[in-house]
Structure 1
Amino acid sequence: MSDDYYDRLVDEDALAAYLEDELGEADDYDVRRHEEGHSNETLFVTWGDRELVVRRPPPGETADTAHDVIREYTVMNAVADTDVPVPDPVLACEDHDVIGSDFYVMGRLEGDVLREAEPDRFADPAHRERIGEQLVDTLAKIHRLDYEEIGLGEFGRPEGYTQRQVDRWGKQLSWAFEVTEDEREVPDLHEVGDWLRENVPEDHPHTLVHGDYKLDNVMFAPGTPPELNAVFDWEMATLGDPRADLGWMLSYWRDAKDPDPELPELVTQFMEREGYPTRVELVSRWEELTGLEFERERFYRTLAVYKLAGLGEMFFRRHLEGNADNPLYPKMRDRVPALAARAKRIIEGDEPL
């Protein structure tokens, strides 16, 4: 990371002045960028004896919903007093004179995000089973929340959520295809999009949805047995269809019977080991805990893979236009057609739950 980019991320003096005004003086102050950040930027801040995290959009980005950190703070603040585990929300700031954008501050928690591999302390069938159970139990807790009671009644429009998802990702793909189809076409994706539009559920339950719920967006506390102590990355949260959340989580979850992943750079395979629940077991547990049925499961799993393909095709357009230097993006020439083929396998029943 260049010094110029870091300077655009944070004015350390201005941030220190803001924190002093809000939290009082501190003898010890340090700021470090978290390199594992995804869409929003994450900074680790030491303020006296407190370990904090600052979340802000990337420099130069407009505050669209994909980077709306105040929205993320709002939902975390609303669920902080429920049984859904989130970091402690501390402050939210919309004064761009501080670090050049909206940002929020939360408490930092200790633990592991299971992204690349399982920690050695969890390498036991009983612990692995609990990881899967904790993951789906926490999703069920989100879906069981009374969003009116916690102050999120105006947080979104749950009616028509699933239809809007299909429409939105169709538009994202159309945007990407404007450039990418000069390089190669993905006819399977057009067929998948048509199938989704023809099979959108007319109605669905209305709950709080996380929008990006998967294993590497939660944290497990130190020690054993595994204890899920935080859900992160709420920037896509809204009111909508809980089955879409479940379908998205399942699109990243591996069973031992599965073919090789289409996106090996983003999908880990350690949950194929002995002890981890299967997708069928995760679904059964979610249904039991929420009292809902995972009706039309092929639709929701197909929608999740369609969204993954949409993301990949947008990455590929940015690569072709020279607007990104991420080494993953050129690989989308082949990864996206593979995802489209997976979506068709789900539709046709060749990749069962």
Structure 2
Amino acid sequence: MAVTTHEELEMTPSLPGLDLAVLEAYLRERQPSMLTGQLRGSVIAGGKSNLTYDVTDGAGRWVVRRPPLGHILATAHDMSREYTIMRALAGTGVPVPITFALCDDPEILGAPFYVMGWSDGAAYRWREELEPLGPERVKKISRAMVSTLVDLHAVDYQECGLAGFGRPDGYLERQVSRWGRQLDSSRSRDLAGADELRQRLEAGVPASSSGIVHGDFRLDNLLVNEADEVTAVLDWEMATLGDPLADVALMLAYDTLARLGDGIANASLAPGFLTQDEILDLYSKSSGRDVSDIGFHLGLAFFKLAVILEGIHYRFTQGQTVGEGFGLAGALVEPALAAGLSSIKE
């Protein structure tokens, strides 16, 4: 989440996908004391899925999230899911933003949305953003990232009210099936390796453990303050109950794509950032979890990323994206599939 000041926000009655006048009327009706002035805002750059907005009335500051415009995958972009898990995690020690309002009625803004508090901190996506901090601070930040994931996976989901949030039993089988279906719904071209990886995943599902799974855990979905501490974990749209190793594998998969020269994120290439082996070692020792089946999880992580990227590519070709960088997604799908095959064969 890019950090901007109030002065940098342009006064506007409407943003792509968000009518500020309608939002203001909605909030004034439901929380009369929340606003003191007219809303203004801007699109927060960087997200490739849900649309995210920085909104202020000149005194308070909030973040609004809604699904993307146009084609969306079934079960994805669930505003209630994000809102529910952040409310549940408040007070657990996992840093999450304060939540203010959830609207499931698509008639208000054209899609469901929710409003959460603004969290201070920087989201480091690119190597060039981390490098100026120096290797020692970069190492500290990457260790904080892993420690935050360990803390999340240590939360007892039953004690924090999330017992009905998902079905941990059979999670891996359902993930393979789900992302296979999602690929079928978004695929508009031949993709080398897609069917082979899917078949290998279906045939090799290991036993799994259970816990809260973020679903898209990486450095630029965290906010980090000047003391190199994680102040907020963001983007919970894929959160569920399942095998925590899915989150670990996805972190490593993003790093691999960065080394292939992708345009999603490459902060892990900054000098001082923990290597994949160091990440696995720190996570395993801190959490006490066995990571010996990480090969399957990596294969699933790359399959998932390939499907997400193909969905972004589809929306881009249909002119249904907001912002820059979406055109790069299509070229990354087959490298992700190839990396998944390589991981699962090892």
Q: Report the Cα offset of residue 140 of structure 1.
A: 0.8
1:45 and 2:42 equivalent? no
* Equivalent pair of 2:93/2:151 in contact (CA under 8 Å): yes
Structure 1 residues 240 and 102 mapped into 2: Cα distance closer, same or farther (>3 Å)? Answer: same
Deviates more, 1:130-139 or 1:281-290: 281-290
Which of residues 206, 209, 228 in structure 1 aligns to 2:210?
A: 206
Structure 1 residues 189 and 11 mapped into 2: Cα distance closer, same or farther (>3 Å)? Answer: same
Distance 1:195 1:324 in 2: 32
Q: Report the Cα offset of residue 340 of structure 1.
A: 2.4
1:245 and 2:247 equivalent? yes
Which of residues 43, 62, 68 in structure 2 aligns to 1:58?
A: 68
Distance 1:309 1:8 in 2: 26
Cα shift readout 1:47-92 (whole Å, capped 9, x = no counterpart):
4532111222235677953121122111000001111001111222
* Equivalent pair of 2:63/2:118 in contact (CA under 8 Å): yes
Residue type of the partner of 1:189?
A
State the match for 1:196 in structure 2.
Answer: 201
Gap regions ≥5 residues in structure 1: none
Structure 1 residues 61 and 335 mapped into 2: Cα distance closer, same or farther (>3 Å)? Answer: closer
State the match for 1:220 in structure 2.
Answer: 224
1:33 and 2:46 equivalent? no
Q: Report the Cα offset of residue 93 of structure 1.
A: 2.9
State the match for 1:24 in structure 2.
Answer: 33
Distance 1:25 1:348 in 2: 55
State the match for 1:299 in structure 2.
Answer: 296
Distance 1:24 1:260 in 2: 45
Q: How does the TM-score come out when normalised to structure 1? A: 0.83
Q: Which has the larger radius of gyration?
A: 1
State the match for 2:259 in structure 1.
Answer: 261
* Equivalent pair of 1:11/1:98 in contact (CA under 8 Å): no
Structure 1 residues 303 and 26 mapped into 2: Cα distance closer, same or farther (>3 Å)? Answer: closer
Identity over the aligned pairs, expressed in percent?
34
Residue pairs, 1:1-353, within 5 angstroms: 6=15, 8-16=17-25, 18-19=27-28, 21-24=30-33, 26-36=35-45, 37-47=47-57, 49-59=59-69, 64-96=74-106, 98-117=108-127, 119=129, 123-177=133-187, 179-181=188-190, 185-186=191-192, 188-201=193-206, 203-221=207-225, 223-224=226-227, 226-253=228-255, 261-262=259-260, 264-268=262-266, 270-317=267-314, 334-349=331-346
Q: How does the TM-score come out when normalised to structure 2? A: 0.85
Structure 1 residues 272 and 171 mapped into 2: Cα distance closer, same or farther (>3 Å)? Answer: same
Q: Report the Cα offset of residue 139 of structure 1.
A: 0.7
Structure 1 residues 303 and 13 mapped into 2: Cα distance closer, same or farther (>3 Å)? Answer: closer
Q: Equivalent residue of 2:31, what SS? A: helix
Structure 1 residues 309 and 137 mapped into 2: Cα distance closer, same or farther (>3 Å)? Answer: same
Structure 1 residues 77 and 322 mapped into 2: Cα distance closer, same or farther (>3 Å)? Answer: closer
CA RMSD after TM alignment: 3.0
Q: Report the Cα offset of residue 24 of structure 1.
A: 1.1
How many matched pairs?
335
Structure 1 residues 28 and 260 mapped into 2: Cα distance closer, same or farther (>3 Å)? Answer: closer
Structure 1 residues 62 and 329 mapped into 2: Cα distance closer, same or farther (>3 Å)? Answer: closer
Distance 2:53 2:186 in 1: 31
Residue type of the partner of 2:294?
E
